Chain A
Amino acid sequence: MSDVQHAIAARVARHLKPGQVVNLGIGIPTLVADHLPDRGSVFFQTENGMLGVGPTPAPEDVNPNLIHAGKLPVSETPGASYFASSASFGMIRGGRVEVAVLGALQIDATGRIANWALPGRPVLGVGGAMDLLVGARTVIVATTHTAKDGAPKIVPECAFPLTADRTVDLVVTEAATFAVEDGGLVLTELAAGTTLDWVRAHTTAPFRIRETVR
């Protein structure tokens, strides 16, 4: 994972509060756990049936029956529990997961996201992305500000298929943080070393600017 991805994860980690139940998506969101001042202060839930996910174990401690949703080995924290898939998604849809941190391909001007399919390609994978988006009480998007080819990801309308009709709560990139308020995006923070002009040039969706942001 690159420095930019870690920078995004560190910016997201500041929004998590002790005691929260948090589900981390695959990719940049997975890195968020590494940037908490105290990893044990939040409870990580994984969709494949575990609450209390611990860090990557040392090679000699890997248990082949203990993985997270990205199918990589994890460890067990004190107080951890296991449950069936139906119960796991009952928690997720039932609003018991307080924060989901998800990646995104695109974010539209109202805060809806596309993160599960590409246009014109056969749709063969969705996993738990839609469930997390409709069910988590707060959804934070962790994404690079632009795509690999430099194209803006925060756009007036998503060209890619939407993941849900629900809007997210916060969009965090390496350059900026946007809150979703009153049906639109509000720039609430600029990362150190980023200018408002840069964000304007790389964001095609309209957004308001919080007074505290220069």
Chain B
Amino acid sequence: MNTRTPPSLLRSPHEAAALVRPGHTLMVGGFGLVGAPLTMIEALRGQPEARDLTIISNNLGEPGRGLGRLLLDGKVRKAVGSFFTSNPDVVRWHAEGRLEIELLPQGTMAEAIRAGGAGIGGFYVRTGAGTALAEGRETRVIDGLPYLFQRPLRADVALVRAGQADELGNLTYIKTARNFNPDMATAADVVIAEVDEIVPVGALDPERIVTPHLFVDHLVLAEGTR
């Protein structure tokens, strides 16, 4: 029986945020604020090195909340996502030329993250063919229908929000707070998981583990309630 105690993955939010460097590309989980790592986002605000960031996330938070705060702090140079119109600050900053935006259909974005984590060099997808989002994109006809080429997405750091972790970094998720988090946990050089609770190894039912520990580098405890 292996009785070694695993090296602790637990970091303070401040320690974890210090891993983010100027110009980094970050994946940030969440659909709106649900499943967003709000403690880590708050920790980035106090981190001067976290600047000129490219953020890959479905939305850029809400006005003054979640990633919306990082935007107002002037830390975000570019956003890659599918739906930014729900945050008027994003629309305004883009109009003022202070924020670059790359818009992807939501399913194409999710699959590009999955591909990035799975060693896939891109894929062809029907979504967007024949629309304004096809302009300038490589197109290929497959079985008589046009498909668009999509490159994979990867990041320097992924900030994901999970439910429970064990001390190895295995992760479970809660209801629709899962969303992009399991995909993003596979697609970054450094993965920081913000969790409600860290339990001993063996305490999680293996059938419940969605993200196996080999993807997870650091754990941070969420502050406050969900």
Interface residues of A (CB under 8 A from B): 46-50, 63-69, 71, 76, 82-86, 88-90, 92-93, 117, 122-131, 134-135, 161-165
Report Cα–Cα, A63/B128, bound state, in Å.
Answer: 34
Name the CB-closest residue of A to B114.
A86
Query: Are B178 and A124 in contact, with the CB atoms below 8 A?
Result: no
Docked pose: A89 CA to B128 CA in angstroms: 14
Q: How far is the CB of B11 from chain A (nearest CB, A)?
A: 24
Residue B47 at the A interface, CB < 8 A? Answer: no
Given the contacts A65-B176, A85-B180, A126-B83, A134 and B101 also touching, CB distance less than 8 Å: no
With A67-B34, A84-B180 already in contact, the answer to whether A50 and B175 are too (CB < 8 A) is: yes
B31, B34, B103, B106 — most chain A CB neighbours (10 Å): B106
Query: Could you say which residues of chain A place their CB within 8 Å of the CB of B210?
Result: 84
B95 touches A126 (CB 8 A): no
Tell whether B183 is near chain A: CB-to-CB under 8 Å. yes
**Cross-chain contact of B110 among A64, A89, A161 (Cβ < 8 A):** A89
Instruction: Verify A64–B34 contact, CB threshold 8 A.
Output: yes
Chain B 85-107 against A: per-residue CB contact (8 Å), 1 yes, 0 no?
11000110011000001011111
When distances are taken between beta carbons in the complex, the residues of chain A under 8 Å from B175 are: 50, 63, 65-66, 76, 82
Q: Which residues of B contact A68 (CB under 8 A)?
A: 176
Contact with A along B170-196 (1 / 0, CB 8 A): 000111111111110000000000000
Closest chain B residue to A84 by CB distance?
B182
**Mask: chain B, 102-136; 1 = CB below 8 Å from A; 0 = not:** 01111110110110000000000111111111000
Contact partners of B58 in chain A: CB under 8 A? 85
Q: Which chain B residue lies CB-closest to A48?
A: B31
- The answer, yes or no, to whether B4 is at the interface (CB within 8 Å) is no
Q: What are the nearest 10 A-B pairs in CB distance?
A: A89-B107, A165-B130, A125-B85, A131-B107, A85-B110, A65-B177, A86-B114, A86-B110, A124-B84, A84-B182
Between B34, B58, B183, B210, the greatest number of chain A beta carbons within 10 A of the residue's beta carbon is seen for: B34
B35 on interface, CB distance cutoff 8 Å: yes
**Supplied contacts A48-B179, A63-B175, A131-B127, 16 more A-B pairs, CB within 8 Å:** A49-B31, A65-B34, A65-B176, A71-B86, A82-B173, A82-B175, A84-B110, A84-B178, A85-B58, A88-B110, A124-B90, A125-B86, A128-B82, A130-B107, A134-B129, A165-B131
24 pairs of residues in contact across A and B, judged by CB atoms under 8 Å: A49-B31, A49-B178, A49-B179, A64-B226, A65-B175, A66-B176, A71-B32, A83-B178, A85-B58, A85-B106, A85-B107, A88-B107, A90-B107, A93-B107, A93-B126, A123-B103, A126-B105, A127-B106, A128-B82, A131-B105, A131-B108, A131-B127, A161-B132, A165-B146
A-B contact count (CB 8 A): 144
User: What are the residues of chain B within 8 A of A92 when measuring CB–CB?
Assistant: 107
Overall SS of chain A's interface: loop
Binding site for A on B (CB under 8 A): 31-32, 34-35, 58, 82-86, 90-91, 94-95, 101, 103-108, 110-111, 113-114, 125-133, 146, 173-183, 210, 226
Query: Would B34 and A122 count as touching, CB distance under 8 A?
Result: no
Q: Is the CB of B133 within 8 A of A126?
A: yes
* Assembly CA distance A85 to B176 (angstroms): 10
Docked Cα-Cα span, A38 to B127, in Å, equals 33
Q: With contacts A82-B173, A84-B180, A85-B183 known, is A130 near B86, CB below 8 A?
A: no
Partner of B176, one of A82, A86, A128, A165: A82
| A69 and B83 alpha carbons, distance in the complex (Å) | 11
Minimum C-beta distance from A61 to chain B (A)? 13
Inter-chain CA distance A125–B210, complex, in Å, is 29
Contacts of B94 in A (CB 8 A): 122, 124
Given the known A-B contacts A161-B132, A162-B131, are A125 and B103 also in contact in the complex, defined by CB atoms under 8 Å?
A: yes
Are the CB atoms of A124 and B91 closer together than 8 Å?
yes
Pick the most buried of B95, B111, B174, B178: most chain A CB atoms within 10 A of its CB.
B178
Chain B residue, CB-CB nearest to A161: B132
**Which residues on the B side are within 8 Å of A65 (C-beta)?**
34-35, 174-177, 226
